[in-house]
Amino acid sequence: PDRRYVPCGWVTMRTSPGRVVENFLDMAHFPFVHTGILGGEAATEVARYKWEIRKETDEVWATDCTFFQPQVSATSEGSFAHLTYRVPAPYQVMLYRVSPSDPTRLDAIALLIQPIDETLCRAQPVMYLVDPDSPHTDLVQFEQVIFLQDRIIVENQRPLLLPLDPRDEIPTRADASSVTYRRWLKAKGLRWGALPFRPVHSRGADS
């Protein structure tokens, strides 16, 4: 009953919904896109974390994620954030964060994406926070600043459609959750809003 429900409006993004989900999962961009808030250029390494597709619920999870954030929440000072990511549906993603206000509990942040067409969507963040002190306006403004910074980056990614073929983009160790997300979408046969996987054909004798 004490958890704060914080709807944050929506942000229109000229990109595919899968690109928005991937950006939400990506910790590596924190120091460069959200400098002084979710990261800083003095600490850019993404520590190893666990990732999996949970077959019993058909969801993508990334656990044991940690990252130093200069401003973990609207009012707290810098510390290591402890994060868990969950993708319960192709265009829905959640973040569970050890609450800065109470380390025994988790904040929950959901991003619900409404596709308009294959390269245009609305991203709607909603927060459920253990935070008895922050003014509502500060909580909303904090989240909106983050997503407006993200919009600049996401809209400039090319191609706008999400590539599902691993040959189209070269991942790094920090991209494990994104790689898992793409593999999960490919297994579902997703085609809308994505560049499909290209089968490798063997060369015939007369090719």
Tell me: pLDDT of 33 over 50: yes
3-state secondary structure 112-158: EEEEEECCEEEEEEEEEECCCCCCHHHHHHHHHHHHHHHHHHHHCCC
Output the pTM of the full model. 0.85
The CATH fold assigned to 4-193 is Naphthalene 1,2-dioxygenase Alpha Subunit; Chain A, domain 1 (3.90.380)
From 15-19, 168-172, 181-185, the region with the lowest mean pLDDT: 168-172
From 31-35, 46-50, 72-76, 111-115, the region with the lowest mean pLDDT: 72-76
Mean pLDDT, range 162-185, rounded to an integer:
81
Task: Give me the pLDDT at residue 206, please.
Answer: 46
Tell me: pLDDT of 181 over 70: yes
Task: Give me the pLDDT at residue 126, please.
Answer: 94
Mean pLDDT, range 81-94, rounded to an integer:
95
Task: Give me the pLDDT at residue 72, please.
Answer: 59
Task: Give me the pLDDT at residue 205, please.
Answer: 46
Checking 164-171 for CB contacts under 8 A at 24+ apart, the result is 164/190, 164/194, 164/195, 164/196, 164/197, 165/195, 165/196, 165/197, 165/198, 167/198, 168/195
